Amino acid sequence: MKLTQGIHVMHLFYRINRVVWAQAGPSTAAARSRLEALCASYSHPSAPRISTFVNVGGKADLAFMLLAAELDQLAQMHREIEDAFPAGALEKVYSYLSVTELSEYMSSEEDHRKQLIEREKLVPDSPEFTARMEDARKKMAEYAHYRLHPELPDWDVMCFYPMNKRRAGADNWYSLDFEMRKKLMGGHARVGRKYAGRVSQLITGSTGLDDWEWGVTLVAQQLDPIKEIVYEMRFDEVSARYGEFGEFYVNIRCAPAAAWKHLRL
């Protein structure tokens, strides 16, 4: 059950039932070891991988981000997490299923060619043109690889939220033609690039898979660039007129051993 390209992604947010945990007594030590072993065994930089977090703000206790090439492996990793805990100790707060994907609005080879000729006035097939095109091709391939096989920086703060493009009245994204959508997404991407080095973002697709059309995972080293990028993008026409957002989950990156301590379990 592999995808034609890309990998499967699951975000899981749980609350610990502290009554069950308190009653589980010595079996909680086994739970700790099991979860630590599990995360160690799924620690490929890309996939299969389980990353652990503690949630901040009161919505949940523990958060997990799972990456797997095979759908059944992803499903198994999820079940292994649940099975690591004493029965009833893990109460689901929110979950999200998506897959990595290329964006149809990414710059194409044709876009780069045009830009070199029209904006930079390079002569087609001149040595400089050829070198610049080679460069562009390399960057496109790197970006495509990042979108399909992401390795997010291991920064302290992770924020997840799902989103839709609006389909209502005069603000119907799905009634716009491709050129208009590509142009609008270009402005959106420019805002994103301003935050390079401060916020790393991963957009995964979930139309037909979960209740929103995309999942957004942002990582940063502190909380304010998360707020700033989401706030600034809200004025961008893509978000202002077409963006619909689900719940926001803010989390701190935290290995399992530290998570127990953080949660005072």
Sign of the dihedral through C-alpha 53, 57, 61, 66: negative
Considering the complex, what minimum distance in angstroms separates the CB of residue 215 from a second copy?
11
Give 72 or 135: the residue with its C-beta nearer to a second copy. Answer: 72
Of 35-43, 110-118, 137-145, 225-233, the window that binds a second copy (rule: CB under 8 A) is: 225-233
Enumerate the β-bridge partners of residue 52: 64
Give 151 or 171: the residue with its C-beta nearer to a second copy. Answer: 171
Q: Is 67 in the site for a second copy (CB under 8 A)?
A: no
149-188 footprint of a second copy as x/- string (CB under 8 A): -------xx-x-x-----xxxxxx-xx-------------
Q: 106 to 145, contacts with a second copy by CB under 8 A?
A: none
Pair 11, 59: CB distance under 8 Å: no
Enumerate the β-bridge partners of residue 54: 62, 252
Q: Is 196 in the site for a second copy (CB under 8 A)?
A: no
Of 39-47, 66-74, 118-126, 133-141, the window that binds a second copy (rule: CB under 8 A) is: 66-74
Give 73 or 122: the residue with its C-beta nearer to a second copy. Answer: 73
Q: Is 230 in the site for a second copy (CB under 8 A)?
A: yes
Q: 10 to 39, contacts with a second copy by CB under 8 A?
A: 10, 12, 17-22
Of 27-35, 112-120, 128-136, 257-265, the window that binds a second copy (rule: CB under 8 A) is: 257-265
Q: Is 49 in the site for a second copy (CB under 8 A)?
A: no
Residues 6 or more apart from 144 whose CB is under 8 A from it? 102, 106
Q: Is 231 in the site for a second copy (CB under 8 A)?
A: yes
Of 39-47, 119-127, 145-153, 239-247, the window that binds a second copy (rule: CB under 8 A) is: 239-247
Catalytic pick among 161, 195, 242, 249: 161
Q: Active site includes 161?
A: yes
Q: 205 to 224, contacts with a second copy by CB under 8 A?
A: 205-211, 213, 218, 221-224
- The residues assigned a catalytic role are 161
